[in-house]
Structure 1
């Protein structure tokens, strides 16, 4: 976690974006953040992203890029949500001693939940 600036007045907690990147940008602007030097910044506040940035929405990559850029610039912090955790487990093979092939079973329900995220990253490693 980045150390707080002396002029910091508070935090904005944002969770459950679920791939709505354009809505995230609008929310940040309504909260007083402005897009400067490639990152949303606020003169007196920081964001803490509370996870679940992926799955469902039409702009998953945009949501992740906004959050990642803010974190890397020291304008935000992030906590992994259960959707990110499940996506990582879905894409990792289970160790040989496990009964299943994947850390997260590729069931119809799990396939449906992660389908939009995988589709939006199909051409992006």
Structure 2
């Protein structure tokens, strides 16, 4: 384990606009396609918006998909240049700890990141691979648990990976970080999957908009002034961006189901919706 690192700021000014992007999971080509639709222009390896808009990722940029290292390199460059930001996330935290030399088991697609690093070292050498590992380690370990979007000193929206309680907004602790990475977990099912509470359903406050991902939905989902923009791109769904404060949604369709799984969060979501329709026809 190496030295502790300070988290980056959990505040962004809305100013010229922010484009919040849901879980990418190594789907780099779809990400580039989405940037084009959003109006970003590439020059000298940097994507800039002509109106000065900034990118904000909800985390989980790696794992499951085919090009995690491309995304790590992208966000290392663009965050350093002040063009983008990113929140902490469950897969990001796992990869960060692995890069930090901690004892973790890479599974659920995280092992693909390790394989990409092995291939990268074979092609570019150990020095280059070590440099990228260190830059990626710092990127992921310093990502804030959530990011507050502010206008005229007021919080107008919060971006977070898996969810956040209103009384956690602006705070930082182990409990806050865990909630932001994993959501409200009620336990573990027999198949090993986490049992997630529908925290957005239970939200009572309308303090500000909360934009989140982590738990894929077939389409962007609004509930109690929260917006889920994880449409399961890596499972063959879509990659979604929410343009704030424009209140616009932009999506691109995944080229394929990169996960290689037939039983995915998207298929389970569709099954739940069909079951609800049978129970409540016409609703």
Q: TM-score scaled by structure 1?
A: 0.76
Deviation at 1:67, TM superposition (A): 1.8
- Does the Cα contact within 8 Å between 2:42 and 2:48 map onto a contact in 1? yes
CA distance in 2, matches of 1:82, 1:52: 7
CA distance in 1, matches of 2:23, 2:33: 15
CA RMSD of aligned residues (A): 2.1
CA distance in 2, matches of 1:84, 1:46: 21
CA distance in 2, matches of 1:118, 1:43: 36
- Does the Cα contact within 8 Å between 2:59 and 2:88 map onto a contact in 1? yes
- Does the Cα contact within 8 Å between 2:41 and 2:50 map onto a contact in 1? no
Instruction: Tell me: higher relative CO, structure 1 or 2? Use CA pairs within 8 A at least 6 residues apart.
Output: 1
Residue equivalent to 2:116: 120
Greater strand content: 2
Residue equivalent to 2:16: 9
CA distance in 2, matches of 1:25, 1:60: 13
Residue equivalent to 1:52: 60
Deviation at 1:48, TM superposition (A): 0.8
CA distance in 2, matches of 1:82, 1:28: 24
Deviation at 1:15, TM superposition (A): 2.5
Whether 2:34 is the aligned partner of 1:38: answer no
How many residue pairs align between the two structures? 110
Q: TM-score scaled by structure 2?
A: 0.36
Whether 2:27 is the aligned partner of 1:20: answer yes
- Does the Cα contact within 8 Å between 1:49 and 1:67 map onto a contact in 2? no
CA distance in 1, matches of 2:12, 2:88: 19
- Does the Cα contact within 8 Å between 2:25 and 2:62 map onto a contact in 1? yes
- Does the Cα contact within 8 Å between 1:14 and 1:48 map onto a contact in 2? yes
